[in-house]
Amino acid sequence: MDQLKGKIPTTSEEIQQYVELAKSKLTTNWDQLTDLIHHHTNDLTVDSVLNDFKNFNVNPVTVSLTLISITTLILLGRLFSSGSSEQHESSGKKHKKKSGKKKLSRAQRANKEIQEILDYVESEYVPEIDKYIENYQTLSKDDLDNKFKFYDEMLLKELVKLDGIDVTGNDILRENRKKVIKFIQDHQKRLDKFKKDIGV
C-alpha cells in the first residue's frame, strides 16, 4: 500500500500500473477477509456464541452482537422516553387549558344566556319573518297559516327561555332581559298585525 501512497500517477501508463497494483492488493486483502469470516462462521452456533459471552471472549461475533444490542436499547430508550415526554407535555397542556378556563359567575352566565337568545332570534327568525311578510302573496292560505303559527310558537319558546334565566338581585341583567323580551314581543305584535291586515 505504501507504493500506492507515495506516487500520484500522471501518465496513462502510470495510471494503468497504479490500477493493477491496487487490484492485486485488494484481492489479497479480500481473500484474507473472507478467510477470517469463514473461520469465525464455520464454528458459529448459538451455544458457542453464548459461551463466548459467558467467558467474555472478545471476537467479531460478540463485539457485533454487543454493539447491536446496545444500539437497539439506546434507540428504544429514546423512542419510549420521547413518547412519554410528549404524552406528559400534552397532558400538562390539557391541564393548563382546564385550569386556565375561568368559571363564569352566575351573573356572567345569565348575561351570556340572554345574549345568546337575542342573537339567535335576530339571526334565525327575524330574517325569516321579514321574508314571510314580504312574500306572503306567493304562499297558499294553509302555508300562510302554518308559517304564522310556527314563527309565533318559536318566538314564544324563546320568551319562555328568557323567563327561566335567574336575574334576581341584578338590575342591569333584569333590564337587559326586559329589552330582549320587548324585542321578541315586538316581532310577535308585528306578526299579529300582519295576520289581521291580510285577513288570515
- The predicted pLDDT at position 66 comes to 76
pTM over 0.75: no
With the CA atoms of 25, 31, 36 and 37 taken in that order, what torsion angle do they form, in degrees rounded to the nearest 10? 120
80 vs 26, more confident: 80
The upper half-sphere exposure of residue 69, i.e. CA atoms within 13 Å in the direction of its Cβ, equals 7
Digit-coded pLDDT (tens) for 30-40: 566 566 556 65
CA 90 to chain centre: 11
Q: Encode burial over 18-45: b for 16+ CB neighbours within 10 A, e otherwise.
A: eeeeeeeeeeeeeeeeeeeeeeeeeeee
- The predicted pLDDT at position 193 comes to 92
pLDDT band at 8 (very low <50, low <70, confident <90, very high): low
29 vs 154, more confident: 154
- The predicted pLDDT at position 32 comes to 64
Q: Which amino acid is at 105?
A: S
Counting residues of the chain whose pLDDT is more than 70, the rounded percentage is: 70
Digit-coded pLDDT (tens) for 100-146: 567 888 888 889 999 999 999 999 999 999 998 898 888 888 888 89
Question: Does residue 156 contact residue 190 with C-beta atoms inside 8 Å?
Answer: no
pLDDT averaged over every residue in the chain: 78
Provide φ and ψ at 35, rounded to 5°.
Answer: -60, -45
Q: What is the Rg, in whole angstroms, of the alpha carbon atoms belonging to the chain?
A: 44
Dihedral sign of CA atoms 72, 78, 84, 87 in order? negative
How far apart are the C-alpha atoms of 174 and 53, rounded to whole Å?
85
Digit-coded pLDDT (tens) for 134-177: 988 888 888 888 989 999 999 999 999 999 998 888 899 999 99
Counting residues of the chain whose pLDDT is more than 90, the rounded percentage is: 28
pLDDT for residue 50 is more than 60: yes
- The predicted pLDDT at position 29 comes to 59
